[in-house]
Amino acid sequence: MKFSLSWLRDHLDFTASLDELCAALNRIGLEVEAIDDPTKRLSGFRTAKILEAVKHPDADRLQVCKVNAGPGMEELQVVCGAPNARTGLHVIFAPPGTYIPGSDITIKAGKIRGQKSEGMLCSLRELGLGEESDGIAELSSLAPVGEDYVYYAKLDDPVIEIAITPNRGDALSVRGIARDLAAAGVGHLKPWLTEAIESKISTPFNWKLSHSACSFVMGRVIRGVKNGPSPEWLKRRLDSVGVKSHSALVDITNYVMYDIGRPLHVFDAAKLSGSELNITHAACESFKALDGKDYVLGTEDMIIADNKGVQSLAGIIGGEASSVDENSTDIFVESGYFDAVQIALTGRRLGINSDARYRFERGVDPALVRNGLEAASALIISLCGGEAGEVVEAGKEPAWQRTATLRFEKLKTLAGMDIASHEAVTSLEHLGFEVREQNDEKATFAVPSWRHDIASAQPLSQAPTLTKEQAEKASLHVNEIEAECDLIEEVLRLKGIDTVAPQSLPPLNERTVFSQQTQQARHSMLRRLCAARGYMETVGFSFVSDQDASYFDEICESEKILNPIASDLNQLRPTPLINLLRALDRNLARGLGQNGEAAFFEIGPSFGKQGSRYVLSAVRGGVSARAPGKVAQEPDWLTAKADLLAALELWGVPDVSLTTTSDAPKYYHPGRSGVVRQGPKLVLGSFGELHPTVARHFGLTGTIAVFELNIGNVPMPKNKRKAAPDLSPLQPVRRDFAFLSPKEVDVQDLIKAARMADRKLVTDVRLFDIYEGDKLPEGYRSIGIEVTLQPKQESLTDQQLEALAANIERAVQKVTGAVLRR
């Protein structure tokens, strides 16, 4: 929110300096973001007169000018290239040492093509005040010579920009800011009164309310207006807050909105059809707005329509079809109260950001619907002439009246300050709160209409299942407590938060025990495991670019961000791998990977057609460190698989229950990846090397190993104490088997068959060799496995070992068709 010092003086009588004013704004929570003081920015520029302008002897496009710039500078020579420089012209002069903001240079005296130049004749663009021009600025022939330009042009009016939090819609007007400053002791608030204008003619339009998001609307016709450029004072006011001047009628509505916080809209009455203006639902129709864009409206969008169709998107932006122009003579002024949530939803969906939407979203004063219309009507008649018609209205003013109670003892316990009760009451009264009841313990206030952020008690009609006594108790425990905290916040804000004495937190009880939920403990275990295996944790945005997302999943329109914080963050991520790959690329490009290798992981959400899920994602790239007897190498799919299986083992998932299939997602290398399942359907995770096409898209070269763990699919451990392991005192026996197997047989099926040959004695089966070559029959390969036998009661005899080996051979042959190599 921007406002100028002169505009503030219309509502606040004060003597504070600019620095004192800004300090007060910061103290009461209206944080000052920027100060534009033209007297400092345009220091040094002065009005001057060209006494003589002759052609430069050595340059066709330059002129040598003699300039009178006032006392001490009565006759200076300036070389100027402007085509409009001529004798007798009053101009803006910058003497040597002046900083030119529009060109970011400092003027120095010197010579141009052999001619002395002692300054510069300036255009408004060079002062940062106008658009590009072909020549220097031309001042009035009555302009005095030697006066500071900033005072001559009446630019000595600093502009302050403050940050507004979403709950302070009342501070989106100069009047609201003045009210807060007066309550903080900076000057006195001037009265603001508006009288009803006498209606001399009838208004040929009536309102119809067909949308629940509008509770109250008013309007009136004004006939015989003359629309043209705004007076200079109005142009300067709007320009100071960054609003471009259009015409007197449009400028007046903008002025009233910034002045008192009341958005309005003006229609050209001659362009409206019929006698009824209906505030209703749109019908999926097209609408051309004042910004020149066409919008397709949804059925929930709220419009103002006449017999021809949509004329305005209520509370957001007007339509081009009924806009006022220089030919408008009869106008219709609208002032309505619209639901903040409805305005926000429509504005976000259509991507329209207007000053009216900004204010309605944060809450406008419902009691200003009528007064705002009267204030705008009076200003229109004053500047544009015309006769005001009768006011037509529909609905009724919302019931904004509510009370809030402050217990004085809470000022100490909640605010941490000793604030006298009479001081607290006075502060709230200055903000517009009216005392209804007061005693030594508490005070009850009527909340002003413009303070939407003060909590209110829920009407009994909204809780029909409660008795009156129950509703009153519920209100006391919820709404009244919130409202009381809001009042304390207001008192503390005006007192100054910086005056609150800092206090140390109480020491922790040595017996305090911090506990984690099971899921939190599991996540902590995962983080420690990943760190131990060389990964570094990251936390990334849940938003990515739709281009990146397309490499991992089909673009889901329901996951599109309607109002992204950046153009490359417009899609909910289908996997955290996108963020990790971007981080990997940055680190490898800068050589930040430890020993040439970098590895990152994240535990976070992913989004897709099946909904959201929580996953552990990890990437590893680069080259391992060189060491004696060890060759530097890139990570591969086996590394990723080992990391995934280690995570599952950490969570107690038995290895014997897992199966591996080759149907990894499309962004994995099709021949070097896999999916780990528990049973035939439950997918626990995936692993492998990144597909080369995806790697190239992210700027990565070499092998990139990745894995993902679907945290939600991993079963929680049963809440029972584990039995002590049954350890055998006997040594295990290991036997190797080499099976000749068809290539289409999965290795895991063969391993599973060997394990199931004797569940009591076979405790482990591991793959140690796969051989394919010309020494084997075509279509076959040799699979070598190591089987661990663990006797429990007595050592195994040679006969028993032979029998077990035969059982394993038969079991594998029965399930897979593989035979023992001889």
pLDDT digits (tens, 9 = 90+) for 703-729: 999 999 999 888 876 666 667 777 888
Under 8 Å between Cβ of 447 and 403: yes
CA 688-690-696 angle, to 5 degrees, is: 170
3-state class (DSSP) for residue 687? strand
Between the two ends of the chain, the Cα-to-Cα distance in Å is 88
Which pLDDT does position 463 carry in this prediction? 38
Domains detected in the chain: 2-37+158-189 (3.30.56.10), 40-152 (2.40.50.140), 206-395 (3.50.40.10), 403-499 (3.30.56.10), 518-713 (3.30.930.10), 733-820 (3.30.70.380)
- CA pseudo-torsion sign 549, 551, 553, 556: positive
> Is residue 699 over pLDDT 80?
yes
Which pLDDT does position 119 carry in this prediction? 93
| pLDDT tens per residue, range 286-298 | 999 999 999 999 9
CA 654-552-571 angle, to 5 degrees, is: 115
Which pLDDT does position 479 carry in this prediction? 59
Known binding-site positions: 453, 486, 489-490
- Mean pLDDT of all residues in 421-447: 91
Which pLDDT does position 512 carry in this prediction? 54
Known binding-site positions for Mg(2+): 453, 486, 489-490
> Is residue 306 over pLDDT 90?
yes
640: left (phi over 0), alpha (psi -120 to 50) or beta: alpha
Under 8 Å between Cβ of 633 and 592: no
> Is residue 431 over pLDDT 80?
yes
> Is residue 167 over pLDDT 70?
yes
| Alpha-carbon span 234 to 469, nearest angstrom | 55
3-state class (DSSP) for residue 7? helix
In this structure, are strands 309-313 and 317-318 parallel, antiparallel, or unpaired? Answer: antiparallel
> Is residue 568 over pLDDT 90?
no
> Is residue 462 over pLDDT 50?
no
List all residues 6 or more positions away from 195 whose beta carbon is below 8 Å from its beta carbon: 374, 378
Strand-by-strand arrangement of the 611-622 sheet: 536-537, 597-608, 611-622, 705-710, 682-690, 668-678, 658-661
Q: Rounded mean pLDDT of the chain?
A: 88
List all residues 6 or more positions away from 260 whose beta carbon is below 8 Å from its beta carbon: 173, 174, 175, 192, 368, 371, 372, 375
Residue 348, φ and ψ in degrees, nearest 5: -70, -45
- Mean pLDDT of all residues in 383-387: 94
| pLDDT tens per residue, range 53-100 | 999 998 888 999 999 999 988 889 999 999 999 999 999 999 999 999
| pLDDT tens per residue, range 316-341 | 999 999 999 999 999 999 999 999 99
- Mean pLDDT of all residues in 195-217: 92
Q: Which of 595, 588, 537, 545 is nearest to 566 (CA)?
A: 545
- Mean pLDDT of all residues in 379-395: 94
Q: Tokens representing 813?
A: 């042959």
Report the share of the chain in percent with pLDDT over 70.
94
Helix ranges (H only) for 263-354 are 340-350
Residue 800, φ and ψ in degrees, nearest 5: -65, -40
Residue 137, φ and ψ in degrees, nearest 5: -70, 140
- Mean pLDDT of all residues in 207-230: 94
Report the share of the chain in percent with pLDDT over 90.
59
Describe the chain by its helix, strand, coil percentages, rounded to 5: 30, 30, 45
- Mean pLDDT of all residues in 498-509: 77
β-partners of residue 789 are 733, 762
| Alpha-carbon span 692 to 700, nearest angstrom | 9
| pLDDT tens per residue, range 623-677 | 877 778 777 788 999 999 999 999 998 888 887 778 888 889 999 999 899 999 9
- Least-confidence region, from 210-214, 317-321, 492-496, 695-699: 492-496
**What element of type H or E holds 494?**
helix 479-495
Dihedral angle computed from the Cα positions of residues 573, 576, 578 and 581, in that order, rounded to the nearest 10 degrees: 170
Model-level pTM?
0.65
| pLDDT tens per residue, range 123-146 | 988 888 877 678 999 999 889 999
> Is residue 528 over pLDDT 80?
yes
Please tell me which residue, 516 or 577, carries the higher pLDDT value.
Answer: 577
Please tell me which residue, 781 or 567, carries the higher pLDDT value.
Answer: 781
Among 269-278, 603-612, 772-781, the range with the most confident prediction by mean pLDDT is 269-278
At 20, the amino acid letter reads: E
| Alpha-carbon span 324 to 264, nearest angstrom | 13
> Sorting pLDDT into bands at 50, 70 and 90, what band is 465?
very low
| Alpha-carbon span 721 to 783, nearest angstrom | 39
DSSP track, 586-638? HHHHTT-SGGGEEEEEEEEEEEETTEEEEEEEEEEEE-PPPBTTB------HH
Under 8 Å between Cβ of 578 and 544: yes
Q: Which of 399, 406, 400, 401 is nearest to 483 (CA)?
A: 406
- Mean pLDDT of all residues in 198-218: 92
Which pLDDT does position 774 carry in this prediction? 82
